[in-house]
Each structure stands twice: as C-alpha cells, then as structure tokens.
Amino acid sequence: MQEFDLIRNYFSKLTKNNKSALNLDDDVFFDKKRKLVVSVDTYNEGIHFPNFQNPNFVIKKILRSSLSDLICKGVKPKYYFISGAGNQKTFSKKNLKIISNSLLEEQNKYNIKLCGGDTTFSNKLSFTITSIGFSKKIIYRNNTKVKDDIYLTGNIGDSYIGLQILKKKIKVKKKQYNYFVNEFYKPKIQIKLSDKLLRFSNSSIDISDGLFDDLEKLINRQKLNYSINLDKIPISKSLKSLINQYKIDKTKLISNGDDYQILFTANKNKSRIIKKISNNLRVKITKIGEILPSFEKSQIIDKNSNIIRLKNKGYIHQF
C-alpha cells in the first residue's frame, strides 16, 4: 500500500470535522483562527539517511527538511520540537554533544527555538521533528489555475548524487565527493522566500519525493495536467559536469527527491515580480513549464519539442 492510499483509506475520515487538518492532503496543519501552522516529519536510519557516522550532518539534514514544509507554505518557522529513539551507541555523550552543537548552529542560522521533545530507547535510530510557525495565510496545494506558470527554486539532482556516492554506487574525485555529499546532508532551503511566496504563488510544495511525483501531488485533487520543459529544469554546474563526465541521462537524475526546493505555480502576470524578488534576494527561481487543462495530456518535452518518457517520477513510500 502506498502512503497516500493509507492516509485516504484509514485516517482522512478522522479529520471530517477538523478543517485545520486540510483533509490530511497538504504539508501542514493550519488553524486559521489562531494563525498556527504545524508540520511533523519522521526520519529513519537506513531510509532517510544511510547511517549515523556523522551526527552533525544528519541532524542538520532532518531539521532543514522539516522546516522546508513550512517555508513552501509561505510561513517562517519559529519553533521546533525534536524526539529521538536510539541506544547507548547512537546517543553516546560524544554524539549528544555534537547533536546539541549542531542544533544550536541551525537555531542561529534560521532564527528558530527548541521547545521540547522526547527520547526513548531503541536499537533502530529515528528522529521526529515538529516545526511550528504563525501566519494569517498559507499557500495550499490544489489551488493551481489553468495556464499558471510552473516555477522551481534552486537546483535539483545534487542530493541524489550525494546519496549514490555515500552508497558507493558512484566513484568521484574528492572535490566532487565533498560537494555532492554536502548537498545531500545540508539542503539549501529557501527561507528567504518564506514571507514572499504569498505575494505571487497560487499553489506550492517542497521537493521531497521527486519533481514529478510532487508536482502531481500539488494538483492531485484538480483535473489539471502540466507541460514541463526538460532543458529548463535547473541543475548545478557540478551536476552538468558529472553528466558529461559519465554520459548520464539527465532524466535519471531530476526526480529522485531529497532536494527540498520549492515547486510553485503562479499567474503569468506575476513573472515580473518573481524575477525582481529573485534578483533582490539572490535566490535562483526558474520557470520550467505550464499548467494545462484536463483535456490536454501531461507531457515532458525537450528543446526540440520531443516528448520524453520517464521511468521514475519519484520516491514511493510503500507499506
């Protein structure tokens, strides 16, 4: 059973009289009256990160990934809770000191505060992060309009390469190793945009499971489709170099998740303000496609307007 089938079949009905739960179909809980926005994420060793050999990197990855859920809704994170399940080895005094110092660095970087959590014994290491922010409005999923432009912040694909390197499936030079592994563990979440997105976005989601999988989640309750220009999908110079070096097909790298960039749609008349904000904040924002009406099929095209077939649209959570 896939994640959203599980939610729809067993838990959505429990939110029938709770509008703030957004039918469990968005990234957050939003109590409009109290201006309260909450997200919860769990991360398991061996699934969300390969191992705990570098606690500093792991803690930063999971915290940033959780904050990303609020940021893509147009909400600036304010507080967080962290719960951990581990044993004497993973929660040694040395590791706990590293975790504490790393969290302090992140608190200073993102102006957030720790408010609580829990610790339990387990031989399987996992962490749960609850992130909290406050806002009068959020950017929902499924509020996309026909002919909206589709935008993506930053670059994607680097994190996937970093994971493949850690799994020893790709051998690279030391400089490449450091770059891609760093991109896997320390995603560049776009907190500068958190209080700007509401000015131009109709709908928004962060890229956690993969570009096309998350794009389809963004419009999953609307009878809409999309057209994406493969060559417009932004990748880093380092990834371009790797693609040329190993003759890798770009389509294999762009929808594997763990990018934590913002995927959003906006009316065409917002293009000027988006460009201005992008320049002023020095945040890379790229237009990659357009939302189509239901009678047109979703498509991915190259620069010659050839239709591209994808074998993988993203990571699927199976139970």
Gap between the Cα atoms of 214 and 314, Å rounded: 8
Q: For residue 51, with 0-12 CB atoms within 10 Å meaning exposed, 13-18 middle and 19 or more buried, which class applies? A: exposed
Three-state SS string across 36-85, please?
EEEEEEEEEECCCECCCCCHHHHHHHHHHHHHHHHHCCCCCEEEEEEEEE
Per-residue pLDDT of the chain (319 residues; tens, 9 = 90+): 777 678 788 888 898 889 999 888 898 999 999 999 999 999 999 999 999 999 999 999 999 999 999 999 999 999 999 999 999 999 999 999 999 999 999 999 999 999 999 999 999 999 999 999 999 999 999 999 999 999 999 999 999 999 999 999 999 999 999 999 999 999 999 999 999 999 999 999 999 999 999 999 999 889 999 999 999 999 999 999 999 998 888 988 888 989 999 999 999 999 999 999 999 999 999 999 999 999 999 999 998 889 988 777 766 555 4
Q: Check residue 93 and give its pLDDT.
A: 97
Tokens at 136, concatenated: 């009068």
Q: Check residue 317 and give its pLDDT.
A: 53
Task: Give how far Cα 100 sits from Cα of 94, 96, 198, 228, 312, Å.
Answer: 10, 6, 33, 42, 38
Range(s) of the chain covered by CATH 3.90.650.10: 149-301
Gap between the Cα atoms of 56 and 105, Å rounded: 10
Tens of pLDDT, residue by residue over 64-89, are 999 999 999 999 999 999 999 999 99
Per CATH, the number for 3-134 is: 3.30.1330.10
CATH classification of 149-301 is 3.90.650.10, yes or no?
yes
Range(s) of the chain covered by CATH 3.30.1330.10: 3-134
